[in-house]
Each structure stands twice: as C-alpha cells, then as structure tokens.
C-alpha cells in the first residue's frame, strides 16, 4: 500500500487564481464631468451603477460561478501617476468611512473573494509617469519597510477586521530589504515577480529561467513565505475577439480558431506540467496621466471570457491566494504514516488540524476512508480529500 499526498487540492492539474490589482478607494474623473463613467472607478464607487466592481460581477463572474478572485488593495491614499496630473483623481484610505469599510470587508468575507495587501500609496510620483518609484523600492532598510507595512496593516485591520495573509509588490518592484520585510511582517504568501516576463528578460521577473520551477510555488526567507507566481496575462486573447463577443457560445466557436489555439498553448503548458495558472488584471483602465492602465478587465473582458470558457472542462482548482498557500503548507508539513495495511495517521502540528488534504492511493484503490470521528468518505478513482484530524484513519476496501 502506498499513499501519496496530491500536489493540489482534489488532485487538480493546476490551481487557477484570478488576481486583480489596485482595487482601492480611488476614482479618476477622466472627462471631468463630476460623475462616474465606466472604467473610471478603482473601487471608490463600490458596487454602484457603472462601478468597476459591478462591471466585474455582471460581465464576467456571473457567467463563471466557480472562479475566485484575489484583489490586491493599496490600503492608503493611492497616488496617481505623476505630480501634475491631467485629470482629477479622488483617493482615500479604505477605512475612510463606514461605507468604504463595509464594502471592502464584505468582499473579503465573501467565499469567492480575498482582499490581499498591496502597499499603502503604491509608491511615489515624479514629473513623468516613467519617473514613478514603486512602494517597496522606496524603503532604505528592513525596519523602515516593516514600519510602513505595520501602518498599512493597521488600516487593513480597521476596515476588514483581521490581518492580511498575503500580498504583492507594487509593480513587482523590490530591493534588497523587501523580502525580509515580508518575512518579518508575518505574511503567509506573497507575489514577488511577473514570472511570465522572464521569457522576455523583463527586470521585474526574477532570475529563474526554468519554466518548471518559475511557474510553480516557491518559498523564501526564514519563515518559508510562499511565493505565488504570476503566470498569465488576462489579455492573452486580446485582439483576436471582436467587440461585444462576451457570449459563451461565440467564445466556444472562436476557441477553435488557429490563432487562438496557438495562444492557448500557454495555458496547456501550465496544465500539462501541473503549474500555477494565475491570471493577472487591473480593476480599471483610467489613469490621471491620460494613459490606459494595462491589462484591465474592461479591455480584456472578452479575452477573460475566452480563458475561463477554455478552462471549464479542465481539471482545475479555483482558489484564492490564501487557500492555495494553506493547501501547500498542509501538503508540505503534514506526513502520512501507514500503521498497517488498512490504517494510517497524520503526523502533524495541531495548527493544521481541520484543514483538508487530498490523498492518492497508488496500487490498490479502496472504496472508502473511515475518519477518526467515524465519518466515511468515498474514494473516487483512487483519490480522496479528507480533513487532517488526530487519530486513526481506516481504509475500507470492500463494499462495507
Ligand atoms: Zn498595483
């Protein structure tokens, strides 16, 4: 008898994360008409008419009920792109008032969503957009970075009622103090790089050039913080769709086009090698320098419909950043100890008690597992997901 721990929950080929950057208490009034128009809002208008959150829900998420979103939120006054902007930007901390707190907290508490940490201001503006310095590049010591993160976490806690579990470097930019600041601040997981850019030598992509490790989770620093890679541009299929083609039937037909098939090979590679599929977007296109923020859910709506439609018949696990990190920690730190042919226990720290782990039986395929609490769970095609509990598990081979 041999029992393996599955790489991903429910023995999925890949975890799928939909990551949306820069949801914030911010609005750019790009036509100076004093009211919100599509694409101007970064979260300031919450879920009101023509808000970006409403667009996300109604144009995308309603069609794909399994998809989960991890939002990366600058918690303070998010700055604009330059010191003399072309358009008026309104920006407040996420805890500025009760309505804002309620909005961000209700998102985080929804089972489909997570609010992750993305700095306080996002960085510092210069005279041109290209002079922008990203938040983690600004810190001259670990202490300075940790202090600033502490201020940000206080805002997050005030709005959301708990500490953030993970986050992402603003603009994927960091310096020699950054990783240690994430370690000391106690984050479980973090997104350090735009990993896909390593193919093109982008400086924000880290040094790993081996796709088999570069597109997988890694660990860093003394606490073994889990590094979740950023592996897919949500605009993968941008340009190959006509406007207004967000209907699934049309997506289905277009997925057969050769150019689309060729682009989808990026996803096929990740699935085939059981790597992380993390789809990257921004919540809105509007910027106070008049440029369009790319990628964004407005310009990529049809591309995202195509991607999620393509994934519909694949064996994937839709999860948030924290759900992925929790599974990886259980998988890496809990050991299966076979006692006899038909019994096993988990050797584990009690902090993992109650979390789920997926097991695979290699030679014999039992029909059910009897838990220590005497609940029985069916084994399907040699695979079973069970909670980690104290006590003995019994492997039932017959139709007991
Ligand atoms: Zn950002």
Would you list the domain boundaries of the chain? 13-325, 335-396
| Mean local confidence (pLDDT), 48-57 | 97
Cα(282) to centroid(ligand 1), Å: 8
Q: How far is CA 15 from CA 118, 233, 270, 315, 395, in A?
A: 22, 16, 10, 9, 28
pLDDT for the residue numbered 399: 53
Cα(100) to centroid(ligand 1), Å: 19
Buried b (16+ CB within 10 A) or exposed e, 366-386: bebbbeeeeeeeebeebebbb
pLDDT-derived band at 249, boundaries 50, 70, 90: low
pLDDT for the residue numbered 226: 98
> Is the per-residue pLDDT at 246 higher than 60?
no
> Is the per-residue pLDDT at 250 higher than 80?
no
Q: What is the DSSP letter of 206?
A: -
Quote the CA–CA distance of 387 and 380 in Å, as a whole number.
16
pLDDT tens digits along 150-169: 999 999 999 999 999 999 99
- Residue 295, preceding peptide bond in cis (omega within 30° of 0): yes
pLDDT for the residue numbered 73: 98
Nearest to 74 by CA among 221, 234, 229, 283: 283
CB 242 within 8 A of CB 303: no
| Mean local confidence (pLDDT), 26-37 | 95
Cα(8) to centroid(ligand 1), Å: 28
Q: What is the crossing angle of helices 301-311 and 258-272, to 10°? A: 60
Residues with CB under 5 A from ligand 1 (ion): 21-22, 170
Cα(166) to centroid(ligand 1), Å: 14
| Mean local confidence (pLDDT), 15-19 | 98
pLDDT for the residue numbered 248: 65
Q: How large a percentage of the chain has pLDDT more than 70? A: 97
Cα(213) to centroid(ligand 1), Å: 24
Cα(118) to centroid(ligand 1), Å: 7
State the average pLDDT for the chain.
94
For 120, list phi and psi in degrees, rounded to 5.
-100, -60
Cα(399) to centroid(ligand 1), Å: 54
In sign, the C-alpha dihedral spanning 241, 243, 245, 250 is negative
Cα(123) to centroid(ligand 1), Å: 9
> Is the per-residue pLDDT at 242 higher than 80?
no
> Is the per-residue pLDDT at 247 higher than 70?
no
Cα(136) to centroid(ligand 1), Å: 12
CATH classification for the domain delimited by 13-325, as one of 3.20.20.70, 3.20.20.370, 3.30.1490.20, 3.90.420.10: 3.20.20.370
């Amino acid at each position: 008898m041999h029992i393996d721990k599955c790489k991903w929950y429910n023995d999925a080929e890949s975890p799928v994360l939909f990551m949306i950057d820069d949801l914030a208490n911010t609005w750019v009034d790009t036509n100076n008409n004093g009211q919100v128009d599509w694409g101007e809002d970064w979260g300031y208008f919450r879920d009101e008419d023509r808000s970006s959150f409403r667009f996300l829900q109604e144009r995308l998420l309603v069609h794909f009920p399994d998809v989960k979103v991890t939002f990366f939120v600058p918690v303070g006054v998010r700055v604009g792109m330059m010191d003399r902007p072309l358009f008026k930007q309104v920006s407040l901390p996420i805890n500025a008032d009760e309505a804002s707190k309620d909005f961000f907290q209700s998102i985080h508490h929804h089972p489909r969503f997570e609010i992750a940490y993305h700095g306080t201001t996002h960085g510092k503006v210069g005279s041109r957009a290209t002079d922008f310095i990203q938040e983690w590049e600004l810190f001259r010591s670990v202490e300075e970075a940790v202090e600033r993160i502490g201020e940000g976490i206080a805002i997050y806690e005030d709005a959301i009622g708990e500490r953030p579990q993970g986050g992402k470097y603003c603009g994927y930019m960091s310096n020699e103090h950054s990783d240690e600041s994430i370690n000391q601040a106690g984050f479980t997981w973090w997104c350090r790089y735009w990993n896909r850019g390593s193919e093109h030598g982008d400086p924000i992509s880290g040094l790993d050039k081996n796709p088999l490790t570069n597109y997988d989770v890694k660990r860093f620093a003394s606490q073994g913080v889990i590094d979740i890679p950023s592996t897919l541009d949500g605009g993968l299929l941008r340009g190959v769709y006509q406007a207004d083609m967000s209907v699934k039937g049309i997506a289905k037909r277009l997925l057969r086009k050769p150019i689309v098939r060729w682009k989808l090979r990026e996803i096929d590679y990740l699935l085939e090698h059981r790597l992380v599929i993390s789809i990257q977007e921004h919540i809105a296109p509007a910027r106070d320098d008049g440029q369009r923020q790319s990628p964004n859910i407005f310009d990529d709506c049809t591309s995202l419909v195509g991607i999620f439609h393509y994934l519909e018949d694949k064996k994937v696990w839709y999860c948030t950043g924290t759900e992925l990190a929790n599974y990886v920690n259980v998988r890496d730190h809990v050991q299966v100890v076979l006692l006899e042919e038909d019994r096993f226990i988990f050797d584990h720290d009690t902090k993992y008690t109650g979390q789920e782990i997926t097991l695979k039986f290699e030679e014999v395929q039992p029909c059910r597992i009897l838990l220590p609490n005497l609940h029985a769970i069916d084994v399907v095609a040699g695979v079973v997901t069970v909670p980690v509990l104290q006590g003995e598990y019994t492997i039932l081979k017959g139709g007991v």
